[in-house]
Amino acid sequence: MGYQFEFADVLAQWPLFLSGAWLTIQLSALAIVFGLVIGIFTAIGRRSNRVWLSRLCGIYVESVRNTPLLVQIFVVYFGFAGAGWKVPVFVAALSALIINLGAYTCEIVRAGMDAVHRGQIEAAECLALTKAQIYWHVVLVPALEKVYPALASQFVLLMLASSITSQIGAEELTAVAARVQSETYRSFEAYLVVAVLYILLSYVSRMAFWAVGLLAFKRRRKLGTLL
Amino acid sequence: MIAGSFSLTHFEFLLFGAGWTLALTLIAFVGGGLVGFGVALGRISSFAPLRWLIAGYVLLIQGTPLLVLIFLMYFGVAMAGFEFSPLAAAGLALTIYVSAYIGEIWRGCIESVPRTQWEAAECIPLTRYQRMKLVILPQAVKIATPPTVGFMVQIVKNSSLASVVGFVELTRAGQLVNNSIFDPLPVFLSVAAIYFVLCYPLSWWSRKFEAKLGVHVRVQTE
Amino acid sequence: MSAIVKVTDVHKSFGKLEVLNGVSFEVARGQVVAIIGRSGSGKSTMLRGINRLEKIDSGSIQVCGHEVNAPDLDLNQLRRDVGIVFQSFNLFPHLTVRENVALGPRVARKLGRSDTARIVEAVLAKVNLLEKIDAYPEQLSGGQQQRVAIARSLAMEPQVMLFDEVTSALDPYLTGEVLAVMEQLALGGMTMILVTHEMEFARKVANTVIFMNEGRVWEQGSGEILDRPQTLELQQFTGKTDLQRA
């Protein structure tokens, strides 16, 4: 192959790259939405007074955070097959990503909720709010505002980590590089193009999360400071 | 090979792979740590072009999935005409990956040393080199211990991607065992359990450090 | 004159430490009662016992028809009838002044938009902070934040208001604006129980001053007792030790 860089053949495959990027975006977006919801519920469970619930959530979180995503993807993929469910690769990949993100967002959200001063919860109790109302208005909403930057970073990391789902056949961006490589024999160029696309995607998604943060959190928009 | 069941011999093979996981982790940590140290210092350098160069390096590496980085090293070096083993390709990719992330962590720790310490050292007076060596870095090291130990957990987990280029660490060992007995769940659950045993003590240790110090450099990685 | 708050022989210990040692007093509707005493005399604990932020060990507290120590107490209703203002304000930092004050009426009382808005504006006008309605707590001074806290409690339209050393955390030049609001409330007929160090305010505004010591009501009377303390402890507390015992 020598030192000759030949990008022409690789770049001619641009529709393939686009479809791979689109699948990456879809996987990431869905994983983020469901992963965050699971993370929030797990965080609430983790802080619960019921010891069995707190322990269960703790086991889930520690198991996921101390094992590699690649192995989790295999377990989920073969788990579905073992249970006799024929699911499309997309579903298996998405499930693994959701389970993974849920554990990481749990810890982030939990830290935010633990940071709420006891005094505010007392004040809310004295305003005759129910436990659930207090949890939502006084604990969860400010916690989310406070940890939003950390959550956004985690979401970008998840988008990059989605590349691992190529190993079970998901046709996202990294898998496309392999396909292009097999058709053009230009391995390095193919992966270089893909790397550039990921860098672009992470930059664009960071901007998007920042914008969403300003939209969702009025206080941040008005005052410009972090909670 | 006929499909068998998951036996002790298979488990021993997994442990053999785990040994290579640790070896790869060590290589990445030492190599990445050395380069990362340079990254941290470069990021706070008073020489602006150096700062931007290193910042650009960090942005590029942090914007690329590790898997893609591994493939780039694997194919890139082969293109340059060198014979590159999977271990070397994975090791190089991990080293670069670690250097960018740990460099940022350490930069954060250096910058968390209170401003007053910098000023006091400047007023003694000490040269920039002496300031860093005698006053700032020793304190930064203390702040950096919990997130660094925590990041080692990331390195152990990320080493699993070396399997993709054929390096026989723990995950690849699991794939090979599964290929011979076709019983994926016990195999990969055992693989996960071994990773857990490797990682959990480090996670726990890192949290204990953080609690003891009460200082907190917020770092989030996968 | 029926008592709206009736405290009878209340005891409470934290572990071995006996904080409340048989406290008894009554508050009639529309009255202002000031509770004074040294730190550790049990006054804050007593106050917080009235709306069940602290659970008492024995004795009885009757408030607005509720028996606070009863196991089947309707806690939510009690908290609607009794408002409290804290020393550290405890405003919700992520909400504007309007949203802080509206939280009780909108969420706890489930009132509609227009009713909530009416109440919010009325109570903020009462504490003279209507112009800050869209500010965030961090943009306000301590005195302003405390007045918002008072407005927030008033929005629940309570029958009794508790004030737990509400000026102690303020810079001296800010206490005046808060005390002025409290005086207005008293003149408007609100039943108020305040734990305070502000002697002048207690003498001027309170109908009854209760001096607590060692977990008990040590001396009780009108504001006069501050000028003519009968017991040695109150004399020492007010610094009027040169008076002869009557």
* Smallest CA–CA distance from B193 into chain A, residue: A67
Partners of C193 in the β-ladder: C33, C162
Decide the pairing of beta strands C208-213 and C32-36: parallel
**C44 in reach of chain A (CB within 8 A):** no
Report the C-alpha gap between B155 and B13 in whole angstroms.
Answer: 21
Q: Using a CB-CB distance cutoff of 8 angstroms, which residues of chain A are in contact with residue B60?
A: 199
Judge: B220–A153 Cβ closer than 8 Å, yes or no. yes
Q: What confidence score (pLDDT) does residue C246 get?
A: 45
- Name the pLDDT band for B222 (thresholds 50, 70, 90): very low
* pLDDT tens track for B113-158: 888 888 888 888 778 888 888 888 888 888 898 899 999 999 999 9
Three-state DSSP at C33 gives strand
End-to-end, the C-alpha distance of chain C in Å comes to 30
Fold observed for domain B10-213: MetI-like fold (1.10.3720)
**A1 in reach of chain C (CB within 8 A):** no
Per the listing, tokens 């505010």 go with A120
Buried b (16+ CB within 10 A) or exposed e, C207-229: ebbbbbbebbbbbeeebebbeeb
Report pTM: 0.87
Mean pLDDT over A217-225 rounds to 85
Q: Using a CB-CB distance cutoff of 8 angstroms, which residues of chain A are in contact with residue C96?
A: 219
Note whether B176 and B138 are within 8 A (CB).
Answer: no
Q: Show which residues on chain B lie within 8 Å of chain A, measured between beta carbons.
A: 59-60, 62-69, 71-72, 75-76, 78-81, 153, 156-161, 163-164, 171, 174, 184-185, 188-189, 191-192, 195-196, 199-200, 203, 218, 220-222
How many domains, chain C? 1
CATH number where C178 lies: 3.40.50.300
- Name the pLDDT band for A197 (thresholds 50, 70, 90): very high
Name residues whose C-beta falls within 8 Å of residue A224's C-beta, 6 or more positions apart in sequence. Answer: none
Choose among B62, B195, B220: nearest Cβ to A154.
B220
CA distance A140 to chain C (A): 11
Helices (H) and strands (E) in chain A, counts: 11, 0
Q: What confidence score (pLDDT) does residue B216 get?
A: 53
- Name the pLDDT band for B1 (thresholds 50, 70, 90): very low
Interface A-C: count of C-beta contacts within 8 A: 71
- Name the pLDDT band for C244 (thresholds 50, 70, 90): low
- Name the pLDDT band for C237 (thresholds 50, 70, 90): confident
% of chain A at pLDDT higher than 90: 80
* pLDDT tens track for C172-227: 889 999 999 999 999 999 999 999 988 889 999 999 999 998 899 988 998 888 88
Report the C-alpha gap between A123 and A139 in whole angstroms.
Answer: 12
- Check whether A3 has a pLDDT greater than 90: no
Residues spanned by the domain of C44: 3-238
Q: What confidence score (pLDDT) does residue A207 get?
A: 95
Is the CATH number 1.10.3720.10 carried by domain A8-223?
yes
* Smallest CA–CA distance from B163 into chain A, residue: A70
Three-state DSSP at C84 gives strand
Three-state DSSP at B166 gives coil
- Name the pLDDT band for B76 (thresholds 50, 70, 90): confident
Q: What is the ipTM of this complex?
A: 0.90
* pLDDT tens track for A54-101: 999 999 999 999 999 999 999 999 999 888 888 999 999 999 999 999
Average pLDDT, chain C: 91
The edge-to-edge listing of strands for the beta sheet with C66-67 is C17-28, C3-14, C58-63, C66-67
Q: What confidence score (pLDDT) does residue B113 get?
A: 86
- Check whether C165 has a pLDDT greater than 80: yes
Per the listing, tokens 């009501």 go with C217
- Check whether B99 has a pLDDT greater than 50: yes
Report the C-alpha gap between A202 and C83 in whole angstroms.
Answer: 50
Residue C244 lies in a domain: no
Q: What backbone torsions phi and psi does residue C41 show, to the nearest 5 degrees?
A: -80, -10
Judge: A199–B184 Cβ closer than 8 Å, yes or no. no
- Check whether C90 has a pLDDT greater than 60: yes
| H, E, C per residue of chain C | CCEEEEEEEEEEEECCEEEEEEEEEEEECCCEEEEECCCCCCHHHHHHHHCCCCCCCEEEEEECCEECCCCCCCHHHHHHHEEEECCCCCCCCCCCHHHHHHHHHHHHCCCCHHHHHHHHHHHHHHCCCHHHCCCCHHHCCHHHHHHHHHHHHHCCCCCEEEEECCCCCCCHHHHHHHHHHHHHHHHCCCEEEEECCCHHHHHHHCCEEEEEECCEEEEEECCHHHHCCCCHHHHHHHCCCCCCCC
- Check whether C61 has a pLDDT greater than 80: yes
Residue C93 lies in a domain: yes
Please give the radius of gyration of chain B, using alpha carbons only, rounded to the nearest integer: 21
Judge: A2–B79 Cβ closer than 8 Å, yes or no. yes
* pLDDT tens track for A102-146: 999 999 999 999 999 999 999 999 999 999 999 999 999 999 999
* Smallest CA–CA distance from C107 into chain A, residue: A129
Average pLDDT, chain A: 92
* Smallest CA–CA distance from C82 into chain A, residue: A126
Q: What confidence score (pLDDT) does residue B117 get?
A: 84
Q: What confidence score (pLDDT) does residue A110 get?
A: 95
Q: What confidence score (pLDDT) does residue C224 get?
A: 85
Q: How many CB atoms lie within 10 A of CB B214?
A: 6
Q: What confidence score (pLDDT) does residue C175 get?
A: 92
Q: Using a CB-CB distance cutoff of 8 angstroms, which residues of chain A are in contact with residue B67?
A: 163-164, 166, 174
Partners of A44 in the β-ladder: none
Judge: A3–B220 Cβ closer than 8 Å, yes or no. no
Residue C193 lies in a domain: yes
* pLDDT tens track for A156-192: 999 999 999 999 999 999 999 999 888 888 888 899 9
* pLDDT tens track for C6-46: 999 999 999 899 999 999 999 999 999 999 998 888 899 99
Judge: A188–B203 Cβ closer than 8 Å, yes or no. no
Q: In 3D, which of C142, C10, C6, C128 has the Cα closest to residue C67?
A: C6
Choose among A1, A3, A75: nearest Cβ to B188.
A75
Name residues whose C-beta falls within 8 Å of residue A30's C-beta, 6 or more positions apart in sequence. Answer: A94, A98
